[in-house]
């Protein structure tokens, strides 16, 4: 038997292994070179006639799943692709760099693109609707106002008191509907700071009902027919504005300013250029921003903790430990900063927001032609920054569908950069810290005073909003875990 000479072996190896590898590398670099020189509009499906991919994009899906539409297109076209919605070609991005670029260039290259039916509900003057100097001026009032919360010990006490009162009043024979409870809780937290409204206020219950109708319609299909959710929301809007205007008029009629008037309404009233319509829209938008989002996060945290008892146990330990060390230092009550600095609790909230995707995507319109990473996005194109797809990316988050608060234990820049539940850039959520602290205060009261379990299985469904088909009924049992 004759063996090939060493030179023949080398030729064989080169032919079988090395040359195809070189060919692939060259082809890849040529592709990326061509993409750089000739940026292209991302390819994607055209969907159905007239509606395009509307129904596939909004098809309800289980929590922590992106659904068939996203999964198929991500695997076929990659992280950036296009879709057709009612004849308009949009760019859908699951690419964290593109999403960050879009958010960071808000008002330079992109701007909020809320459809006309949402604009009609939110009004002309809410912060989300504004751009340019008018936006900056209003934001300069709202941000310092929110930053003051951390110094206000009485506000933390108010949230604790609210959690306790609402847990008692929502308890019907040992059963609490978490959706209803969480909506009330987040509404009264934000409405107090917006315009001094508390549950004892005679207008409070009706206003809360109108808000629920309002936000359900805002997330529903924009069908303006008698009985439709959208039509009901359109009717709720003037009621909300009327209630805010009443507060405004009462405040104007007062001879002196009380301490309770230290709210957003009070700050906006100092602006002589703001009309009453402007003030009422701002308050409406501020309360809306804090209710649908935070209440959903609260439902999700109840649901997830029941399913992951180890996380609940570790969180309980952290709260007891924090109280113990406060007591040793002669301090009685937990403060805003104590809550914010509870590491494991904040990890639970981060993980809930990652897996739950309360705000699954942001819609931004390019105001100029944009080129990014070889893609061409023409002026006027809407980019759907898909935050849920970033949060569920398996190459960043191992087992992305698993609730694992411990994944945030170690400082990992990559993971941190891929967590965007509150958006980013100039429009980063103004209520992000308030949301975290109010959820922490509620959890503190809940986990030290109650055990709970589901009455019937009720699993969250994600679409435009995360919903619980049965409003998440739980059975609660009072237990004293405190020191
Ligand atoms: C878990 C709770 C929350 C989530 C997930 C959330 C999410 C977001 C996101 C993603 C944005 C960015 C929108 C964009 O870029 O177009 C945003 C903006 C905003 N949020 Fe939140 N939010 C939450 C709680 C709150 C609370 C408690 C308030 C009120 C106190 C609030 C008020 C606002 C307002 C007024 C804006 C508009 C900011 C602007 O246009 O500059 N949010 N929120």
Whether the CB of 424 sits within 6 Å of ligand 1: no
Residue 190 CA: nearest ligand 1 atom is 30
Sign of the alpha-carbon torsion through 222, 224, 227, 230: positive
pLDDT of residue 254: 81
Say what the pLDDT of residue 204 is: 95
The residue to mutate among 99, 134, 197, 289, having the most atoms of ligand 1 within 8 angstroms of its beta carbon, is 289
What is the atom index within ligand 1 of the atom nearest the CA of 297?
Answer: 1
Task: Dig out the tokens for 253 from the structure.
Answer: 């009629």
Ordered per-residue pLDDT tens for the chain, 483 residues = 455 666 665 555 555 665 566 555 545 544 554 455 568 999 999 999 999 999 999 999 999 899 999 999 999 999 999 999 989 999 999 999 999 999 999 999 999 988 889 999 999 999 999 999 999 999 999 998 898 888 888 999 999 999 999 999 999 999 999 999 999 999 999 999 999 999 999 999 999 999 999 999 998 888 999 999 999 999 999 999 999 999 999 999 987 766 666 899 999 999 989 999 999 999 999 999 999 999 999 999 999 999 999 999 999 999 999 999 998 988 888 999 999 999 999 999 999 999 999 999 999 999 999 999 999 999 999 999 999 999 999 999 999 999 999 999 988 999 999 999 999 999 999 999 999 999 999 999 999 999 999 999 999 999 888 999 999 999 999 999 876
Instruction: Kindly state the DSSP code that residue 15 receives in the 8-state scheme.
Output: I
Distance 31 CA to ligand 1 centre (A): 39
Cβ of 127 below 6 Å from ligand 1: yes
DSSP letters for 90-135: EEEE--HHHHHHHHHTBTTTEEE---HHHHHHH-SSSGGG--HHHH
Question: 322: annotated binding-site residue?
Answer: no
Task: Tell me how far apart the alpha carbons of residues 179 and 186 are, in angstroms, rounded to a whole number.
Answer: 11
Distance CA 114, CA 122 (A): 10
Ligand 1 pocket mutation, candidates 265, 293, 436, criterion most atoms within 8 A of CB? 293
Sign of torsion over alpha carbons 314, 316, 319, 325 = negative
Q: At 390, phi and psi to the nearest 5?
A: -70, -45
The CB of 446 under 6 Å from ligand 1? The reply is no
> Which residue has the least CA distance to atom 18 on ligand 1?
429
Question: In the beta sheet, which residues pair with residue 365?
Answer: 111, 382
C-alpha of residue 438 to centroid of ligand 1, in Å = 14
Token duo for residue 7? 């030179």
Task: Work out whether the CA dihedral 349, 79, 68, 229 comes out positive or negative.
Answer: positive
Position 10 scores a pLDDT of 56
Straight-line distance from the first to the last Cα atom of the chain, in angstroms, rounded to the nearest whole number: 85
Tell the residue nearest (CA) to atom 1 of ligand 1: 294
Distance CA 139, CA 137 (A): 6
Q: Which fold has domain 124-357+392-478?
A: Cytochrome p450 (1.10.630)
Residue 229: what pLDDT?
A: 95
pLDDT at 64: 87
Q: Which atom of ligand 1 is nearest to the CA of 435?
A: 27
* Ligand 1 centroid to residue 339 C-alpha, Å: 20
């Amino acid at each position: 038997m004759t063996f090939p000479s060493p030179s023949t072996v080398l030729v064989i190896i080169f032919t079988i292994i090395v040359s195809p590898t070189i060919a692939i590398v060259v082809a890849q670099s040529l592709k990326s070179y061509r993409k750089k020189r000739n940026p292209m509009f991302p390819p994607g499906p055209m969907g159905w006639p007239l509606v395009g991919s509307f129904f596939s994009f909004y098809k309800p899906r289980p929590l922590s799943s992106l659904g068939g539409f996203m999964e198929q297109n991500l695997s076929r076209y990659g992280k950036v692709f296009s879709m057709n919605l009612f004849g308009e070609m949009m760019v859908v991005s699951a690419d964290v760099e593109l999403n960050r670029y879009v958010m960071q260039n808000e008002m330079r290259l992109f701007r909020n693109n809320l459809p006309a039916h949402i604009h009609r509900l939110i009004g002309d003057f809410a912060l989300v609707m504004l751009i340019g100097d008018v936006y900056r001026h209003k934001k300069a009032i709202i941000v310092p106002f929110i930053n003051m919360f951390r110094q206000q010990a009485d506000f933390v006490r108010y949230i604790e008191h609210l959690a306790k009162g609402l847990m008692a009043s929502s308890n019907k024979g040992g059963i609490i509907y978490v959706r209803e409870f969480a909506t009330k809780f987040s509404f009264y937290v934000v409405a107090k700071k917006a315009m001094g409204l508390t549950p004892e206020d005679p207008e409070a219950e009706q206003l809360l009902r109108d808000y629920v109708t309002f936000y359900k319609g805002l997330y529903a299909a924009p069908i303006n027919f008698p009985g439709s959710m959208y039509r009901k929301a359109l009717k709720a809007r003037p009621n909300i504005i009327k209630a805010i205007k009443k507060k405004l008029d009462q405040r104007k009629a007062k001879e002196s300013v009380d301490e309770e008037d230290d709210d957003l309404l009070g700050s906006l009233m100092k602006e002589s250029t703001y009309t009453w319509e402007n003030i009422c829209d701002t308050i409406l938008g501020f309360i809306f921003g804090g209710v649908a989002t935070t209440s959903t996060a609260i439902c999700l945290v109840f649901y997830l903790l029941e399913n992951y008892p180890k996380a609940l146990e570790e969180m309980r330990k952290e709260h007891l430990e924090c109280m113990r060390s406060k007591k040793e230092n002669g301090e009685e009550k937990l403060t805003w900063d104590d809550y914010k600095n509870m590491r494991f609790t904040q990890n639970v909230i981060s993980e809930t927001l990652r897996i739950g995707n309360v705000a699954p995507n942001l819609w931004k319109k390019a105001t100029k032609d944009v080129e990014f990473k070889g893609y061409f996005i023409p002026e006027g194109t809407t980019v759907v920054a898909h935050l849920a797809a970033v949060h569920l990316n398996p190459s960043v988050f191992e087992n992305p569908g698993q609730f694992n608060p411990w994944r945030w234990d170690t400082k990992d820049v990559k993971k941190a950069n891929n967590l965007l539940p509150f958006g980013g850039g100039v429009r980063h959520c103004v209520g992000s810290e308030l949301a975290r602290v109010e959820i922490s205060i509620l959890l503190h009261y809940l986990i030290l005073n109650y055990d709970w379990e589901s009455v019937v299985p009720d699993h969250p469904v994600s679409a435009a909003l995360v919903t619980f088909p049965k409003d998440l009924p739980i059975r609660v049992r009072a237990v004293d875990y405190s020191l």
